């Protein structure tokens, strides 16, 4: 029987990989906002995911039960609506503010995840996990150095953070009994449905290159969701919450490679704090596994 330590390590690895893939999607989306509206990018992303997942099911000739068998259609629709809200709000924010700033603002999400995991998931959250999340948030504050007048684009990543916290909590509830392929099919189909309801208001003709880019980020999105689904099957939401901060490191690297943003000292200091808190939580989980002998 897999030990608690192995489950924690598996969840950690899949979660970090999923965050890397989503960071790449965010960076590509920011590039695209120069020519395409953020809501249309969101639609293209989810449509590509739906086509890929549906195409795989057809090519592999999977029985319908493999990807349609669920009694939680309502929860899947709610989860996909939360994801559309998260991605759309983030992409709108990326239109106006730097990638690292938008990602950093979203890192208020782990606080919400940890808090919501208690009443909605019944998870026990001790002082060590709470401390790790709070210290990690302090690292985000060091990185961002907030100040000046509040502008509406900054509120968009914050809205994305709130929606993302609810999304991850609902993911944890669904993944207890739901097969990964079922969850992936419903998230992609549901997100495509919700985003299609709003894209008509901002639609503009696409070039072949833009359509190809949609397909590319759709592929990344499929693998990102598979990684995140697998992570939540292996570990608790409150345990995984601090590792959301690792995406900040990916954003800083991609910001430098794609936009020429050179990380300042505050970015380095904040990143060290963020990584340290995540590693501490993993060490703590492994220590508990050794103590309990599970």
- Checking if the pLDDT of 176 tops 70, the result is no
Q: Which residue has the tokens 């302090």?
A: 138
Residue from 31, 7, 9, 27 nearest 19 by CA: 27
In the numeric block, which tokens belong to residue 267?
């970015």
Q: Which residue has the tokens 């901060």?
A: 245
In the numeric block, which tokens belong to residue 61?
């000739």
- Checking if the pLDDT of 64 tops 80, the result is no
How far, in Å, CA of 214 to CA of 41, rounded? Answer: 7
How far, in Å, CA of 142 to CA of 8, rounded? Answer: 28
Q: What average pLDDT does this structure show over 99-115? A: 76
How far, in Å, CA of 196 to CA of 200, rounded? Answer: 7
Note the pLDDT tens digit of each residue in 181-212: 787 888 889 999 999 999 999 999 999 999 99
DSSP character string of the chain: ---HHHHHHHHHHHHHHHHHHHHHHHHHHHHHTTTS-HHHHHHHHHHHHHHHHHHHHHHTT--HHHHH--S-HHHHHHHHHHHHHHHHHHHHHHTTS-HHHHHHHGGGHHHHHHHHHHHHH-----HHHHHHHHHHHHHHHHHH---S---HHHHHHHHHHHHHHHHHHHHHHHHTT--HHHHHHHHHHHHHHHHHHHHTTT--PPPHHHHHHHHHHHHHHHHHHHHHHHHHHHS-HHHHGGGGGHHHHHHHHHHHHHH-PPP-HHHHHHHHHHHHHHHHHHHHHHHHHHHHT-
Residue from 28, 37, 31 nearest 88 by CA: 37
HSE value, Cβ hemisphere, 13 Å, CA-based, for 236: 20
The answer to whether 32 and 95 have CB atoms below 8 angstroms apart is no
Residue predicted with more confidence, 10 or 65: 10
> Residues with Cβ < 8 Å from 140, sequence gap 6 or more?
104, 107, 108, 245, 248, 270, 274
Q: List the domain boundaries for the chain.
A: 4-292
pLDDT band at 272 (very low <50, low <70, confident <90, very high): confident
Task: Confirm whether pTM is higher than 0.85.
Answer: no
The answer to whether 110 and 138 have CB atoms below 8 angstroms apart is no
Note the pLDDT tens digit of each residue in 240-265: 877 777 887 888 889 888 888 776 67
Note the pLDDT tens digit of each residue in 131-155: 877 887 787 777 666 554 446 777 8
- Checking if the pLDDT of 60 tops 90, the result is no
């Amino acid at each position: 029987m897999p030990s608690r330590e192995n489950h924690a390590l598996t969840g950690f690895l899949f979660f970090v990989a999923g965050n890397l893939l989503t960071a790449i999607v965010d960076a590509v989306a920011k590039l695209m906002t120069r020519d395409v509206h953020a809501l249309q990018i969101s639609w293209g992303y989810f449509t590509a995911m739906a086509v890929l997942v549906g195409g795989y099911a057809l090519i592999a000739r999977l029985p319908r039960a493999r990807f349609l068998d669920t009694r939680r259609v309502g929860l899947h629709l709610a989860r996909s609506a939360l994801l559309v809200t998260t991605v759309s709000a983030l992409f709108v924010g990326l239109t106006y503010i730097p990638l690292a700033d938008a990602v950093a603002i979203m890192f208020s999400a782990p606080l919400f995840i940890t808090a919501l995991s208690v009443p909605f998931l019944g998870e026990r959250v001790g002082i060590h996990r709470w401390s790790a999340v709070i210290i990690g948030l302090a690292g985000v504050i060091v990185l961002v150095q907030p100040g000046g007048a509040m502008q509406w684009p900054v509120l968009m990543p914050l809205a994305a953070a709130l929606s993302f916290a609810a999304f991850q909590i609902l993911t944890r509830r669904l993944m207890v009994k739901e097969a990964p392929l079922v969850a992936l099919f419903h998230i992609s189909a549901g997100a495509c449905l919700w985003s299609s309801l709003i894209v008509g208001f901002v639609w503009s003709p696409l070039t072949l290159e833009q359509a190809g880019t949609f397909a590319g980020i759709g592929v990344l999105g499929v693998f990102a969701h598979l990684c995140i689904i697998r992570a939540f099957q292996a570990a608790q939401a409150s345990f995984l919450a601090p590792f959301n901060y690792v995406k900040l490191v990916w954003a800083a690297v991609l910001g430098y490679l794609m936009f020429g943003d050179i990380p300042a000292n505050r970015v380095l200091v904040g990143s060290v704090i963020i990584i340290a808190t995540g590693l501490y939580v993993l060490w703590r989980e492994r220590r508990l596994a050794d103590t309990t002998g599970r």
